[in-house]
Amino acid sequence: MVPVNLNINLYELKEKVKKEVINRILNIDIFDHPLDSAWLLYALFIEEKHNNPFFKEYILKLKEWGLSEEAGKKNRDLAPLSLCGFLLSGTEVEAEIIGKVKELLSKAIEALSKSDVRFNVLNDPEQVFCVSLLLGNKEDARNQIINIIKRNINGRISRKVLFIASLIEFGENTQNYLEILSSKEDPEDIISLLWSSERYRDIINANLIGFWKSFDTIYPSIEIEEISSRNLAMLYEAIVKEITEPDPNMLFDIYPLHPQIRKIAEEHFKNKKYTAAIFEVTKKLNEFIQNITGVKDKNEVGLVQATMKQIEDPKIKFNDFLNEKSGQNEQRGLELITEGIFSAFRNPKGHKPEDHPLVDTSPYETLAQLIIIDYIWRRIEKAKIGAKGEKHA
């Protein structure tokens, strides 16, 4: 795969979205718009619930609404009350908020058998998802809600995404529904897909780079100020997740690894065979050094010492200043790094099983090792090779 470059600067986008979130909170009446307010505070809650005085100030206002007599009078208070309870989890008022939510939930379930189900609040995926956030698989009516969700997974992608997210929060197996999470062109659908694939990364196992590319395509035409508060919160969560815990496959695709390294490592890396990715690349590096120097009777550390160590006239000459101390230091340093690649990266992986603690590497550590190999590989390509100091072709 050719490396993918996104035009979006996630750090700049994060600040832009955060600024819009704060601006809306400052200009909204929580009692008039509790759901919008709850989503906006949810966005800040993702990253800054403990250290943000601004968040603490406005969550108290949402709490005031949640405890008021007004909260719970409308069926559609189910979502903002649920978000309110979720954001206030662990506080002294959580139980009171949950009580209001359960009362509304009970009425909604009872109404399903008595009135036109099309207008029941539980047919709204936003309402159901907010309930699932607060109650999860602890709710007594969990099975009833799950059955309602399964009957309603239809319509546009953003609707399906919220219902699938609700099933995940309720602890339900969603494998049969994940194939519907495919890329679309509508901004709301794309943001929903991006959010769900980031939030539930370990469950959905989606093509994150594909969703980010889709968002990258539509982003120039999006006005942040016109995005709904819910989608703004979802977008912010996706950005924060990607910044704080970058998707390894996305990093692999974006970083401009040497084509030879990418060709050998990609399938292993994408299949989470991280030990194999490094092992195979180091074998190829050994072969590469043998081929360009003609030294076929040595391998790995011995090969490196035979081709790089001799300061006066090495077979692989990294610079033209070997008559100077600085030039000699660089030559010796690059030789030692290459030795280290074989000693630390390759040899343990060739003598221990993949699940051994000595070689069981994380995707980030694997990528770091590949980048080190990439640097050495490119330096060897730029070096002068052989006694005549010819450039490697």
Alpha carbon distances (Å) from 142 to 55, 78, 102, 269, 290: 31, 15, 11, 38, 64
If phi > 0 it is left, if psi is from -120 to 50 it is alpha, else beta; for residue 156 that is: beta
Please indicate, yes or no, whether residues 31 and 84 belong to a single structural domain of this protein.
yes
Q: Are 78 and 130 in contact (CB under 8 A)?
A: yes
Mean pLDDT of 335-354: 78
For residue 52, name the pLDDT band (cuts at 50, 70, 90): confident
pTM of the model: 0.82
Please indicate, yes or no, whether residues 37 and 164 belong to a single structural domain of this protein.
yes
What is the structure's pLDDT at 351?
47
Say which residue, 38 or 360, is predicted with more confidence.
Answer: 38
Mean pLDDT of the chain: 89
Say which residue, 48 or 52, is predicted with more confidence.
Answer: 52
Please indicate, yes or no, whether residues 266 and 243 belong to a single structural domain of this protein.
no
> Per-residue pLDDT tens for 185-196?
789 999 999 999
> Per-residue pLDDT tens for 244-282?
999 898 899 889 999 999 999 999 999 999 999 999 999
Please indicate, yes or no, whether residues 61 and 196 belong to a single structural domain of this protein.
yes
Tell me which of 31-35, 67-71, 260-264, 345-349 is least confident. Answer: 345-349
Say whether pLDDT at 314 is over 60: yes
Please indicate, yes or no, whether residues 66 and 88 belong to a single structural domain of this protein.
yes
CA–CA gap between residue 69 and residue 119 (Å, rounded): 24
CA–CA gap between residue 127 and residue 61 (Å, rounded): 21
What is the structure's pLDDT at 50?
64
Say which residue, 187 or 2, is predicted with more confidence.
Answer: 187
Please indicate, yes or no, whether residues 202 and 312 belong to a single structural domain of this protein.
no
Q: Count of domains in the chain?
A: 2
Please indicate, yes or no, whether residues 231 and 325 belong to a single structural domain of this protein.
no
What is the structure's pLDDT at 380?
97
Domain contains 201: yes
Please indicate, yes or no, whether residues 200 and 177 belong to a single structural domain of this protein.
yes
What is the structure's pLDDT at 195?
95
Domain contains 3: no
Alpha carbon distances (Å) from 193 to 126, 184, 390: 15, 9, 53
- Bridge partner residues of 291 (DSSP): none
For residue 113, name the pLDDT band (cuts at 50, 70, 90): confident
> Per-residue pLDDT tens for 190-219?
999 999 999 998 888 777 888 898 899 999
Say whether pLDDT at 78 is over 50: yes
Please indicate, yes or no, whether residues 136 and 193 belong to a single structural domain of this protein.
yes
Q: Are 363 and 272 in contact (CB under 8 A)?
A: yes
Residue 27 neighbours by CB under 8 Å, 6+ apart: none
Please indicate, yes or no, whether residues 178 and 295 belong to a single structural domain of this protein.
no
Decide which of 249, 267, 286 is a domain's last residue: 249
What is the structure's pLDDT at 359?
58
Domain contains 355: yes
Domain that includes residue 91, residue range: 10-249
Q: What angle do CA 261, 262, 266 make, to 5 degrees?
A: 120
Burial class (CB in 10 A: 0-12, 13-18, 19+), 386: middle
Say which residue, 389 or 59, is predicted with more confidence.
Answer: 59
Q: Are 230 and 39 in contact (CB under 8 A)?
A: yes
Decide which of 223, 249, 275 is a domain's last residue: 249
Report the CATH number that the domain containing residue 99 is assigned in CATH. Answer: 1.50.10
Q: Return the closest-CA partner of residue 160 out of 140, 188, 118, 131.
A: 188
Domain contains 315: yes
What is the structure's pLDDT at 46?
87
Decide which of 249, 275, 300 is a domain's last residue: 249
Tell me which of 52-61, 109-118, 226-235, 298-307 is least confident. Answer: 109-118
For residue 355, name the pLDDT band (cuts at 50, 70, 90): low
What is the structure's pLDDT at 202?
84
Please indicate, yes or no, whether residues 81 and 221 belong to a single structural domain of this protein.
yes
Half-sphere exposure of 11 (CA within 13 A, CB side): 0
Tell me how crowded residue 244 is: count the other CB atoms within 10 A of its CB: 9
CA–CA gap between residue 276 and residue 236 (Å, rounded): 35
Helices (H), ranges, 78-207: 78-87, 94-111, 125-135, 142-152, 157-169, 187-199, 201-204
Alpha carbon distances (Å) from 305 to 120, 331, 337, 342: 75, 11, 11, 12
Q: Is the dihedral of CA 234, 237, 243, 245 positive or negative?
A: negative
Residue 353 neighbours by CB under 8 Å, 6+ apart: 359
> Per-residue pLDDT tens for 12-31?
999 999 999 999 999 999 99
Say whether pLDDT at 338 is over 80: yes
Residue 374 neighbours by CB under 8 Å, 6+ apart: 257, 258, 261
Domain contains 167: yes
Please indicate, yes or no, whether residues 201 and 60 belong to a single structural domain of this protein.
yes
Domain contains 374: yes
Domain contains 180: yes
